[in-house]
Structure 1
Amino acid sequence: MQWIEWFGEHFIGLFNAGGEQFMSLFTSIVPTLVVLLTFTYAMIKFIGDDRVTKGIQFASKYMILRYTLMPILSILLLTNPMAYTFGRFVKEEQKPAFFDSLVSFLHPVTSLFPYANAGELFVYLGIANGIAQAGYSQSELAVRYFLVAILIILIRGVITEQITKYLARRMANSAVKE
């Protein structure tokens, strides 16, 4: 009968630990997320929806902006999963590359802007807590993580765009032969 008592204590203990974790997040990160999100939407309203849209359309014309600025802004302004809607500003043959650069940025964005992709926050916090326990700065990690991610999304976007062009040409050539 001891196993029933042990199971009962540990079963409810699991939920107690989950509740404690939830409350620690609710009193630490949730207020920060709300303020960051409010700030982002306030900036859009101050700048104006039309100006933001025109700026994104401008950025979509240039490869370096299409695979750096656009994914960053889409995630910061719309968050995940709405960020994918910025794909409407790029040409059809550029959509795979835009999507690749966008999804590659969904995890690193949480280092400085945790509201942008809350689903990935736990992964980043696990890494950041390990860095802190090792005696290193979490702030330095966050900035480096963010900056390296910008370089990575640019590289991925450019490479994926080139692969997409190659495959489109190849498909066009094979369709002509048939």
Structure 2
Amino acid sequence: MNLRNLIPSLLLMLLSCFSLTAQAANPEIKIETSKGDIVLELYQDKAPITVDNFLAYIKQDAFKNSLFHRVIPGFMIQGGGFAQDYQRLATNAPIKNEASNGLSNSRGTIAMARTNAPDSATRQFFINHANNTNLDQGAFGAGYAVFGKVTSGIEVVDAIANVATGTTAAMPGARDVPTNQVVIKSIQVIEAK
């Protein structure tokens, strides 16, 4: 094959690579809350299992009218697992913990909530209100898997983190429940422009 015939093939290969790169961009989501909107980039490249799990719940519209049910200023805001009547929402199967992906629980990152069992995360998530490196790999056994970061609306995270909290008979044992509900109206993928 001569050089003249090889150049179009090389150009086609390069264009394919650029096309694949554009398709592989990390997804963005918008969390619409009763306090305002939060936009996040999800790190599909670093936490593919976690992101796929989260996107599956979004596709099912499973976060609609759920709550930020646990709020601790200077720590985190947690939500996605309870309806407005404080009933626990249905879950898909638990996922493998991806806390060893090199991402840190720094201010503005989103991570999966879980029980003491490392591979028990389902639908509940939290957004770090401060740098919580103690939640990273090794700090609590397997750590808590970060899978994205706030790109817009950190002031909404701050507003939620600073709401009044207390207890409610609907959630026995919980101490950090917002006294006025913070509702997650919806979570949606932002379409690429």
Q: Under TM normalisation by the shorter chain, which class is it?
A: under 0.3
**Structure with greater helix percent:** 1
**Structure with greater strand percent:** 2
After TM superposition, the score normalised by the length of structure 1 is 0.25
Structure with greater contact order relative to length (CA < 8 Å, sep ≥ 6): 2
After TM superposition, the score normalised by the length of structure 2 is 0.24
